[in-house]
Amino acid sequence: MSQSLGDNPQTPQTPQIKSQPEGEVFDLGYRHYDGPRGGRGTAFLALYSDGLRTVMGLGRGVPAKIMPTIFALLALGPALFIVSLTSFVTLFASDPDEIELPGHEDYFQFTFIIMLLFAAIIGPALLSPDRRNSVLALYAVRPLKSLDYSLARWLAFFTFSVAFALIPQALLYLSFLLYDDSPGGYIKDHGRDLASFIGVGLILAAFMTSLAMAAASLTTRRAFASAGVIAFIFITAAVGGFGQEILTSDEDRQKYRQEHEPFKQHDGPQAPDGDAAHYLQLLILPDSVVEGLTGWIFGSRTEFPISPWWNVATISAITGAAFGITGFRYRKFGA
C-alpha cells in the first residue's frame, strides 16, 4: 500500500551546541604611551649614543671596558712621556734649543699602529653583533632610513678615533706652548703645527673608522673583521713593496740606502726607480699616511718623486670605498 507523505513525518533533529571555553580579562594597568615622540633625528641620536656606549664597553662585561682603557693609555703614554721630557729639558738643560724633542709629526708615527689596532679590535663591536643577533629588523620599525644606521655607527667610532688622534697632540702643543719663553711667539712660529695635526688627525680617524666599519659589515664575527683590517694593511703593503722591488734598479736602491740611514732626514730620492714603482709604493699605506701625507701637511718633506696629491688621492679613495661598502651592505636593514 502506498503511504502518503504525511503518514510518516520525519522528526527534525536538534543541533548540538558545542561548549565554548570561558575567558577572563585582567586589568594589568597597561597605559598607552603619551609622552613625547621623536622622529628620525631622535632615532639617529639614540643609535649614535648607543654606539658611544658600545665603544666604551658600558653595559657589558669587564673585558669590554678594559680594552678601550688600555688603548687610551697607549695613545696618551708617549705624549705624557714627551711632556715630562720637555719639562726636564727646560729646567735642567743648559741650552734647551739644542735638544731636539719629538714633535707632532713624530707622534703620529708612534701612534699609527696603536690606532690601527684600536680600529681593528674595537670598531667591529659596533656592527658585527647586531648582524649576528639578527636585531637589524628591530631598528627598521623606527623612523630610520637605510643609511642612518651605518652613518650613526660610523660617527660614533669616528668620535673616539678623533679623540685618540687629537687629545695627545693637543696636550703636546699645550706643553710646548707653556714651556716656551714666549708663548705668543711660539703660536706665531708654530701656528701651522696646530692646523696640521688637526688636519692629519681627522684624515687618519676617518681612514681607520672606514676600514673598521667596512670589515665589520662583511662578517658577523668580530675576530674575522679585526683580522680583515690588519690583513688589508699588510697585504697592500706587501703588494706595494714587492712591486717596487721588482721595478727598482740596483743603482737607485743603493743610493736610497746610503741616503736613508737611521735617524737622518733627507730630501733625496725616495727609493723606487721609475713612476710605476712610485705609484705602487702608494699601496704601502703606513708610508702613504705617515711619511707621505703627514710630511706634506706639516711641511717637513718638500721633495716628492710624484705629486703628494697622489697620497691624498690614495687615502681618500680607500676611505671612500670602505665607507661605500658599509653603506651598500646596510642599504636594507635585513641585509
Q: In the structure grid, which three cell numbers stand for residue 251, read together?
A: 743603482
Q: In the structure grid, which three cell numbers stand for residue 131, read together?
A: 648582524
Query: What's the whole-model pTM score?
Result: 0.78
Spatial distance between the Cα atoms of 279 and 13, rounded to a whole number of angstroms: 96
| pLDDT higher than threshold 60 for residue 33 | yes
73's enclosing H/E stretch is helix 62-92
Domain count of the fold of the chain: 1
With respect to residue 27, please indicate whether it lies within any of the assigned structural domains: no
What is the domain range of residue 92? Answer: 40-329
What confidence tier does 18 reach under pLDDT thresholds 50, 70, 90?
A: low
Q: At what angle do helices 309-329 and 146-179 cross, to 10 degrees?
A: 140
Query: CA geometry: angle at 299 spanning 251 and 259, to 5°?
Result: 20
Q: What is the pLDDT of residues 233-266, one digit of tens each?
A: 999 988 888 877 777 666 666 666 665 554 444 4
Q: In the structure grid, which three cell numbers stand for residue 287, read together?
A: 708610508
Question: For position 232, what pLDDT does the model report?
Answer: 92
Q: What is the pLDDT of residues 272-325, one digit of tens each?
A: 445 677 788 888 888 888 778 888 888 877 777 778 888 889 999 999 999 999
Across all residues in the chain, what is the average pLDDT? 79
With respect to residue 46, please indicate whether it lies within any of the assigned structural domains: yes
Contact between 99 and 192 under an 8 Å Cβ cutoff? The reply is no
Q: What is the pLDDT of residues 116-133, one digit of tens each?
A: 999 999 999 888 888 888
With respect to residue 3, please indicate whether it lies within any of the assigned structural domains: no
With respect to residue 35, please indicate whether it lies within any of the assigned structural domains: no
With respect to residue 33, please indicate whether it lies within any of the assigned structural domains: no
Contact between 285 and 233 under an 8 Å Cβ cutoff? The reply is yes
With respect to residue 11, please indicate whether it lies within any of the assigned structural domains: no
With respect to residue 269, please indicate whether it lies within any of the assigned structural domains: yes
With respect to residue 32, please indicate whether it lies within any of the assigned structural domains: no
